[in-house]
Amino acid sequence: MPTFVAEWFWQLQASPLAGAVPDPAAAAVFSADMVEGFCAHGNPASKRLAALTHPVAELFRRAHAHGIRHFVLVQDAHDPQTPEFFAFPLHCVRAGGCDHPTPPAGAL
């Protein structure tokens, strides 16, 4: 991680959700690639990525309890022949359905 990113990250202060989102009806939670194919199986799954599932799930729960009702979960899923695999290792391959869906609620 670049030094300036680490310095920025470590200076962040916790903020109550109500302060950050005063009007839950006008807010949404956006999540990208929190899928089994990245967090638990395949490339680039790792313990580091798997460790993100519980904090993300807690954020979802807190956001919902605060009144946020709009959640966008963008999920990577590829045809087995996608050209992306020339540049990146095989990951999130779709075979008649999503083989690597969102982790179960207990994991998230």
The average pLDDT across 21-44 equals 88
pLDDT at 106: 53
- In this prediction the pTM is 0.73
Q: Is the pLDDT of residue 37 over 80?
A: no
90-94, Cβ contacts within 8 angstroms, sequence gap of 24 or more: 90/42, 90/43, 91/37, 91/38, 91/42, 91/43, 91/44, 92/35, 92/37, 92/38, 92/42, 93/37, 93/42
